[in-house]
Amino acid sequence: MRNTLLTLALTSACVLLVNQPAQAQADISAIVVKHLTISRDFTLKVADQMPEADYSFKLTPPQMSFAEQMAHLAVDQAGLLSPLTGAKP
């Protein structure tokens, strides 16, 4: 029963999203691009605040360093923005 309700809910959501007018889809893309751009700008400000000598800092040995985390975020941001902006990641 639970699987049936979940399937019905997901199918309904898909139908609703597919039937949205092109303008609504463009608005959603604009909102996502805006939020990802704000996130990117904030991340760059954080990176600028970290002294270069501390880019190798790790809170614990298994974690990524600050530099590795910044590179990881940059790749993810580019990958998320590229389909919406048409830019190459």
Give the domain ranges of the chain: 21-85
State the pLDDT at residue 8. Answer: 42
C-alpha to C-alpha distances, 77 to 5, 7, 12, 17, 47, nearest whole angstrom: 34, 31, 30, 24, 15
DSSP state of 56: T
The pTM (predicted TM-score) of the whole model is: 0.58
Q: Over the Cα atoms of the chain, what is R_g? A: 19
- Highest-confidence segment of 8-22, 27-41, 52-66: 52-66
**DSSP state, 59?**
S
